[in-house]
Structure 1
């Protein structure tokens, strides 16, 4: 006895086709840019443009593969997306960029830490902002004082390291 199954016809996956187009554009730009690099391979054919060309062709190959799978509709059903966490992280990055030279590395990055923690489910910003500032201050101290690399100093950094 045979059972007939009525499968719904597969539809093309528009998101996959958009991703394939993006991969192809990135690969094309990399190929164009690597063509402008001087080929300093010397005695071998390997030079500064070699790796970008390999990566570009790899991206173009992945774009083709993604496009074929998107047209066939072979991608699994994706779960519903929740944009709120991504928006919290993007907002944290924006705030950090705006405050970096005003408040210094520690405070700006502490706020980014708190916004990212909020995106991952920690709702208490009053707790995560000070924790983030402490972590960022430790990072600033290591980079600025031990490694002698320049990171923007604000009032907090000036309080502990005047003239730094």
Structure 2
């Protein structure tokens, strides 16, 4: 990203876009903190409970919001580079495909194959069949690792019932 030139009129302080971004980050931090406060005070090993990660995320988002305010006041918000809308839509299609496959009982492995294949396509790779195969292999590896080694359950479909 390139830095924005300081072409503001004399006497004008700050970058309004930076303040909007900071407000969004702060709102997100407040939502995470509110959710963390409802988790209860159950503590496990070493006094750290399930809400510790959420409080950490809320604190990090607050720090990012404060840093963004400082950058906005200084007028140093980077100008975003142009995006490739086709690539973004391809990756979003991969996410939507993954959600649809899992929702309709297709299983974890095919969902991950579609997600991997379309994400690789979004990043510019053109070997879709190869990428779908790689996605199947990675999905199988993750599925077996989670279900057999960690004894966690992942969405099952026809392929997963073979294992």
TM-score, with structure 2 as normaliser: 0.69
Q: 2:140: which partner in 1?
A: 137
Gaps of 5+ in 2: 1-5
Match of 2:112 among 109, 113, 127: 109
Does residue 149 of structure 1 match 2:152?
Answer: yes
Structure 2 residue aligned with 1:122: 125
- Inter-partner Cα distance in structure 2 for 1:57 and 1:130: 40
- Deviation, 1:16, is 1.9
Instruction: Give structure 1 stretches of 5+ with no counterpart.
Output: 1-6
Shift of 1:30: 4.0
Q: What is the deviation of 1:117?
A: 0.8
Kindly name which structure, 1 or 2, has the bigger radius of gyration based on alpha carbons.
1
**1:39·1:47 contact (CA, 8 Å) conserved in 2?**
no
Q: Deviations over 1:36-95 (max 9, x none)?
A: 565679xxxx87577766764554354244224224322243322223333322221111
Root-mean-square deviation over aligned CA pairs: 3.2
Q: Where does residue 90 of structure 1 map in the other structure?
A: 92
Aligned length: 150
| C-alpha distance in structure 2 between counterparts of 1:57 and 1:148, whole Å | 32
Secondary structure of 1:103's partner? coil
Instruction: Name the CA distance, whole Å, in 2 between partners of 1:25 and 1:106.
Output: 36
Report the CA distance shift for 1:13/1:86 in structure 2 as closer, same or farther (over 3 A): farther
Structure with the bigger RCO (C-alpha within 8 Å, sep 6+) is: 2
Partner of 1:79: 81
Larger mean CA deviation between 143-152 and 92-101 belongs to: 143-152
Could you say if the C-alpha distance between residues 71 and 37 of structure 1 is closer, same or farther in structure 2, counting changes exceeding 3 Å? Answer: same
Cα 1:47/1:128, change in 2 over 3 Å: closer
